[in-house]
């Protein structure tokens, strides 16, 4: 008996093999399917081998064969890496919540093996959290998941680094993505040195001066409102000092100085200043008696407005 033909079938396509003259073995090459086998029954592509002898007898082996079935299970892995994206907080962001929710997406290629949720790692500084950690939420999106983690303990004020890592079911590892954000729960310091509270002046030109600072979210911006109207840009020095000349109206004036740090936290100081440019005038004046005797006491009465 001699074997006259050997062929194999993968993914519905037959390929004829050639017999090697020296070894007597039948050899050939096939192209693996373009899609991963992860979603196939059993997570493999079944392979069928068919051999025909010179008498026309045909024998078939497939993935269910007790002897060769395991060998006839072709597992195909995708080659494209999944992707991870930090949604919020964005890189460089300032937040005022020390339990800021961290949201990120992990996706695989369309038709790929899919995101392996067990491989998800979220690092916050030196702490590592998984897809099943307490405080982690997840929802399905196209080709993957969106996850959101709420810290279970308050983060300290200052900079924090988050890193996301993930793999797909075929073992492809995504490029790790990172973002740095700053937690700032404390408003900036603000001191107004001039004007003093309750100042009364006859000069309509008044220079507002002071100093501000924020240990976490410098630089700090300063705004000055006079009677509800913003007075324009205020230059803040490297040491936090600032000054701005404003023009008072006659009567009582309200000055509100507001310092805002990069996280949006504010501190305000309000001063009430009175402008009085009136000039004293005598309304009435009496000297009595007038004329007066020598060494006599003279009563003086003056009404000034």
- For 41-81, the pLDDT digits (tens) are 999 999 999 999 999 999 999 999 999 999 999 999 999 99
End residue of a domain, out of 74, 95, 121: 74
Same structural domain, 146 and 193: no
In a domain, 300, yes or no: no
In a domain, 285, yes or no: no
- Look up the CATH number of the domain holding residue 153: 2.60.40.1220
Same structural domain, 102 and 20: no
The pLDDT confidence band at residue 192, using thresholds 50, 70 and 90, is very high
Query: Residues near 299 by Cβ (< 8 Å), separated by ≥ 6?
Result: 286, 287, 288
Same structural domain, 235 and 269: yes
Residue for token pair 């995504």: 174
| Whole-structure pTM value | 0.76
In a domain, 106, yes or no: yes
In a domain, 242, yes or no: yes
In a domain, 290, yes or no: no
Cα 123 to Cα 119: distance, rounded to the nearest angstrom:
13
Same structural domain, 97 and 174: yes
Same structural domain, 40 and 110: no
Under a CB-based contact definition with an 8 Å cutoff, are residues 113 and 169 in contact? Answer: yes
In a domain, 128, yes or no: yes
Same structural domain, 49 and 112: no
Label residues 267-285 b or e (16+ Cβ within 10 Å = b): bebebebebeeeeeeeeee
In a domain, 110, yes or no: yes
Same structural domain, 270 and 195: yes
Same structural domain, 260 and 196: yes
The total domain count for the chain is: 3
End residue of a domain, out of 74, 103, 134: 74
pLDDT tens string 137-183 = 999 999 999 999 999 999 999 999 999 999 999 999 999 999 999 99
- Mean model confidence pLDDT for the chain: 95
- Look up the CATH number of the domain holding residue 246: 2.60.40.10
Same structural domain, 103 and 163: yes
Same structural domain, 204 and 271: yes
Same structural domain, 91 and 166: yes
Cα 259 to Cα 112: distance, rounded to the nearest angstrom:
52
| Structural domain range at position 20 | 3-74
Residue for token pair 């001191």: 191
The pLDDT confidence band at residue 1, using thresholds 50, 70 and 90, is low
Residue 238, both tokens: 């490297």
In a domain, 268, yes or no: yes
């Amino acid at each position: 008996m001699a074997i006259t033909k050997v062929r194999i079938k993968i993914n519905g396509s037959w390929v004829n093999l050639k017999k090697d003259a020296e070894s007597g073995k039948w050899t050939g090459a096939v192209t693996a399917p373009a899609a991963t086998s992860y979603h196939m029954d059993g997570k493999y592509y079944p392979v069928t081998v068919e051999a025909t002898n010179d008498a026309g007898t045909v024998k078939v082996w497939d993935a269910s064969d007790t002897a060769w079935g395991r060998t006839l299970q072709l597992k195909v892995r995708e080659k494209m890496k999944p992707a991870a994206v930090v949604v919020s907080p964005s890189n460089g962001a300032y937040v005022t919540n020390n339990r800021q929710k961290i949201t990120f997406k992990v996706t695989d290629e369309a038709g790929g093996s899919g995101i392996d949720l067990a491989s998800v790692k979220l690092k916050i500084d030196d702490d590592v959290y998984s897809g099943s950690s307490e405080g982690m939420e997840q929802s399905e999106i196209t080709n993957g998941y969106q996850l959101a983690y709420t810290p279970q303990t308050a983060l300290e004020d200052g900079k924090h680094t988050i890193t996301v890592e993930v793999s797909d079911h075929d073992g492809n590892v995504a490029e790790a993505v990172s973002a740095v954000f700053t937690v700032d729960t404390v408003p900036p310091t603000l001191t107004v040195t001039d004007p003093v509270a309750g100042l009364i002046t006859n000069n309509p030109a008044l220079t507002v001066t002071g100093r501000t600072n924020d240990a976490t979210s410098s630089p700090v911006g300063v705004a000055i409102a006079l009677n509800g109207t913003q007075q324009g840009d205020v230059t803040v020095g490297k040491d936090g000092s600032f000054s701005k000349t404003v023009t008072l109206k006659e009567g009582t004036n309200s000055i509100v100085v507001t310092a805002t740090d990069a996280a949006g936290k504010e501190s305000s100081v309000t001063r009430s200043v009175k402008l009085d440019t009136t000039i004293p005038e005598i309304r009435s004046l009496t000297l009595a008696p007038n004329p007066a005797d020598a060494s006599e006491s003279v009563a003086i009465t003056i009404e000034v407005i």
